[in-house]
Amino acid sequence: MSERKMITLATRKQMDIYMNPQRQRLLRALEVSGVPMTPKQLSDVLKISASSVSLHIRKLEELGLVALDHTESIHGIQAKFYQKLPVSVSLGGNREDDLKEERTCLSDYLITELWNGFKDRLNRVKDKTDAMTTGDFTCGVVHLNKKDADELYHLILDFTETHEAPGEDTIPWEYGLVVFPHSPLPEEKGE
């Protein structure tokens, strides 16, 4: 498997581009559709103007998250189709800089949007007995040594990367994963 491109949000400009809620919705729409879309198609999904979508696309192109896939002539008009690039974004949570508060707000927003989407799905589904229909939520603690933790992390990344593109008989599944070691930090141990 090839090394996936990772963008770490290191500057205020990058953070400002990425943390815009409309841009987050636009990225999600492209990921869920799994196919390139025009600004007009995205405007119909997002319920905002096509010119606003085009502005957001330009910003996301600047960050390296979206790119022009192709153009087609539709009723004599050249339509531009954009795709979400196979790029992971690191919020840079391990960085010590003046963007710590923005990173926290963005993390809260992303987790809340994911959780609200899950709750909305639960409310809309009639048969709530099948996790393959409703989705599922689970949490707990696993005991891992460094080797096992690294293996689990890469298994998850490899699995999700392998399944990002739509395939025959697939539907998009949204996911979120938060993992962290529960061991005391060195400063908490008095080291």
CA distance 100 to 108: 12
Three-class SS of the chain = CCCCEEEECCCHHHHHHHCCHHHHHHHHHHHHHCCCECHHHHHHHHCCCHHHHHHHHHHHHHHCCEEEEEEEEECCEEEEEEEECCEEEECCCCCCCCCHHHHHHHHHHHHHHHHHHHHHHHHHCCCCCCHHHHCCCCCCCCCCCHHHHHHHHHHHHHHHHHCCCCCCCCCCCCCCCCCCCCCCCHHHCCC
Indicate if the pLDDT at residue 40 is higher than 90.
Answer: yes
Domain ranges of the chain: 5-162
Per-residue confidence at 9, pLDDT binned at 50, 70, 90? very high
CATH of range 5-162; options 2.40.160.20, 1.10.10.10, 3.40.50.150, 3.40.50.620? 1.10.10.10
Q: What is the pLDDT of residues 80-132, one digit of tens each?
A: 999 999 898 989 888 889 999 999 999 999 999 999 999 998 888 887 777 77
Q: Using one digit for the tens of pLDDT, what is the confidence trace for 134-158?
A: 888 888 899 999 999 999 988 998 8
* Proportion of the chain above pLDDT 90, given as a percent: 59
